[in-house]
Amino acid sequence: MTSLWLASPRDSTTDAFDDGARYDEIIVGAGLTGLVTALLFARAGKKVAVLEARFIGAGATGNTSAKLSLLQGSQLQKIKQHTYQAITQAYVDGNRAAQQWLLEYAQSRDVAVQFRDAISYAATPEGTQTVEREFRVARSVGLDVQLRAELDLPFATYGAVVLPNQAQFDPMAVLEALATDIRKLGGVIVDRTRVTGVTAGPRSRPAVVRTGRGELFADHVHLTTGTPILDRGLYFAKLKPLRSYVTSYAVPGAIPEAMYLSVDAPSRSLRTAPSGDGTQGSGKHASDAHGGSEELLVGGNGHGVGREPSTQLRVDDLREWTERYFPGARLTHSWSAQDYETPHRVPFVGYLPRGRGAIYLATGYDKWGMTNGVVAALTLVSDILGDSPPWATAMHHRATLPAALGSGLGAGAAVGWWAAKGWAGALLGPRVDDLPRPGERQGLIGRSGIRPVGVSTVNSTTCAVSGVCPHLGGVLTWNAAETSWDCPLHGSRFSATGELLEGPAVRDLAQK
Ligand SMILES: Cc1cc2nc3c(=O)[nH]c(=O)nc-3n(C[C@H](O)[C@H](O)[C@H](O)COP(=O)(O)OP(=O)(O)OC[C@H]3O[C@@H](n4cnc5c(N)ncnc54)[C@H](O)[C@@H]3O)c2cc1C
């Protein structure tokens, strides 16, 4: 499934891999976090290299909804519930600084941004209280929100909180501008280069960055890889990987102009996109208030990675919902992506424990990385160059509350349950030789001796790969919507042919 943003041909420039080269800062991962971090260091005169396993925007950033908003569904009350007022305030202050940075950057580089109201609405009567709570918390941290009883939408709503003048954009247009600017300042961006390990210690200065193509050296290494790829600090065990879906449509009638997000389940996220954003030639579109034609994006139906038995049903459900409320809507693109939730709902940003002050990480944006990715970049750069903003200092010194501990323990127990379920199912299941040939876009787990094997058919080609995640041994599950093998433990994902797509794993699946 290709996103609206990745559908048009994009610049595929890559720089040469200079085996053995030394840099001041190596950034691992070319999503929004990595590229903003790289640009800020390059502007400070540092020698910078970005190493990307796949291509620029391949992760969540090229597959996001790209709303740039300080009102984030019911996020503020969740943060307040898992932390405390000072941290909620620091979160909003950081997000505000990041939003400002991104808007100024987009303006300076002529990247189109549409300013829209952000609206968190209740889709059920029970959701009204959540809306009212979000209003109160948002007000308490200085956001100029308003309550609204009714919305002009074709489906029922039960109250909403509105923050005017937020923004939306095409994330790939921002990444391309960032990449150009990094290169202009002498930075290099090398794609198709997976980092497999980093060594940093008293006898290893500078840090050694190992890749499939050789080694590089750096004073500091920044893991901006979605979930961190190193197990030090056990961040993979503290993060909940959550997959979610987005669909885009050409709609014959009027479409809502604002950026909407329901506060209750199943989640529904709506925004528009100018039809030039990856959709040229896709047909008849609604017109926006400014006379341009627009597509409607509808997202939602999220779940834990690898834990949903029928991912395609989630996509079909979004489509049916949209066609019901926007008659004549014609699907142009559908895609999915994942992001990571922390136990306290605020991102992890800073140095990696046992990284000897040379390895840094940024993760856990809970689907709000358009601001939080920039927050992370501003934080990482100020951690190293000095002059940390007060909100970054407050975030670094936050205490962990019992609510966050409880949430972390619950997530850990769920991982244990999925590990046991996967292995029990595989060991009690059929031998791989006894499996029927999977139908098109289907995958099945069998066993060879006691080793789980995944067999799938995609484009009429049947492949057998190891059914065990090379990260920590979870038994993989089939994701029909993306035709991938997904790990229900920590969110690593692999293509049908075994190629690593994302997650904490750093190796492909073995062929069987
Ligand atoms: C469906 C969905 C909708 C969303 N909508 C919004 C929204 O409307 N607003 C908002 O604010 N946020 C939204 N988010 C969240 C936001 O998209 C992400 O938080 C953000 O894009 C994360 O950016 P990143 O740079 O940290 O990670 P990514 O964009 O995932 O980049 C990480 C990069 O690291 C690379 N990488 C991984 N491992 C290695 C390795 N070993 N070596 C080298 N490179 C590696 C990957 O290939 C990838 O390119 C959404 C998320 C999802 C899933």
Residue 495 has pLDDT above 90, yes or no: yes
Query: Cα of 135 to ligand 1 centre, how many Å?
Result: 28
Query: Cα of 61 to ligand 1 centre, how many Å?
Result: 4
Any idea which of 271-275, 398-402, 419-423 has the lowest mean pLDDT? 398-402
pLDDT for 204 equals 65
Write down the H helix ranges in 109-170: 127-140
pLDDT tens digits along 275-326: 865 443 333 345 444 456 899 999 999 999 999 999 999 999 999 999 999 9
Element (H, E) at 340: strand 330-341
pLDDT for 157 equals 98
* Mutational test site, ligand 1, from 225, 336, 375, max ligand atoms within 8 Å of CB: 225
Query: Cα of 198 to ligand 1 centre, how many Å?
Result: 21
Task: Please work out whether the CB of residue 226 comes within 6 Å of at least one atom of ligand 1.
Answer: yes
Task: Please work out whether the CB of residue 54 comes within 6 Å of at least one atom of ligand 1.
Answer: yes
| Whether the Cβ atoms of residue 377 and residue 33 lie closer than 8 Å to each other | yes
Residue nearest atom 33 of ligand 1, based on CA coordinates: 29
Residue 504 has pLDDT above 90, yes or no: yes
Q: Domain 22-62+173-231+345-400, CATH 3.50.50.60 — does that match? A: yes
Residue 355 has pLDDT above 80, yes or no: no
The domain locations on the chain are 22-62+173-231+345-400, 70-82+112-170+239-341, 416-502
Q: Which atom of ligand 1 is nearest to the CA of 57?
A: 49
CATH topology of domain 70-82+112-170+239-341: D-Amino Acid Oxidase; Chain A, domain 2 (3.30.9)
Task: Please work out whether the CB of residue 64 comes within 6 Å of at least one atom of ligand 1.
Answer: yes
Residue 65 has pLDDT above 90, yes or no: yes
Task: Please work out whether the CB of residue 168 comes within 6 Å of at least one atom of ligand 1.
Answer: no
Quick one: average pLDDT of 24-52?
98
**Mean pLDDT of all residues belonging to the chain:** 93
Best CA proximity match to 48, nearest among 227, 183, 148: 183
pLDDT tens digits along 151-182: 999 999 999 999 999 999 999 999 999 999 99
Task: Please work out whether the CB of residue 224 comes within 6 Å of at least one atom of ligand 1.
Answer: yes
Task: Please work out whether the CB of residue 73 comes within 6 Å of at least one atom of ligand 1.
Answer: no
Query: Cα of 29 to ligand 1 centre, how many Å?
Result: 9
Query: Cα of 490 to ligand 1 centre, how many Å?
Result: 16
Which residues lie below 8 Å from residue 409, measured CB to CB, with a gap of 6+?
Answer: none
Phi, psi dihedral angles at 477 (to 5 degrees): -120, 155
CB-CB neighbours of 511 under 10 Å: 10
Q: How many CA atoms lie within 13 A of 17 on its CB side?
A: 18
Query: Cα of 124 to ligand 1 centre, how many Å?
Result: 30
Task: Please work out whether the CB of residue 67 comes within 6 Å of at least one atom of ligand 1.
Answer: yes
Task: Please work out whether the CB of residue 339 comes within 6 Å of at least one atom of ligand 1.
Answer: yes
- Using CA atoms, how far residue 387 sits from 151, 344, 381, 391, in Å, is 44, 26, 9, 12
Task: Please work out whether the CB of residue 71 comes within 6 Å of at least one atom of ligand 1.
Answer: no
Query: Cα of 429 to ligand 1 centre, how many Å?
Result: 35
pLDDT for 397 equals 87
- Using CA atoms, how far residue 165 sits from 168, 277, 282, 293, 486, in Å, is 10, 21, 29, 21, 38
- Using CA atoms, how far residue 501 sits from 53, 73, 195, 225, 267, in Å, is 9, 28, 13, 12, 26
Which residues lie below 8 Å from residue 158, measured CB to CB, with a gap of 6+?
Answer: 121, 122, 123, 124, 125, 127, 128, 131
Residue nearest atom 5 of ligand 1, based on CA coordinates: 65
Distance CA 56, CA 59 (A): 8
- Using CA atoms, how far residue 210 sits from 125, 214, 215, 221, 324, in Å, is 53, 6, 5, 11, 51
Task: Please work out whether the CB of residue 374 comes within 6 Å of at least one atom of ligand 1.
Answer: no
CATH topology of domain 416-502: Rieske Iron-sulfur Protein (2.102.10)
Task: Please work out whether the CB of residue 32 comes within 6 Å of at least one atom of ligand 1.
Answer: yes
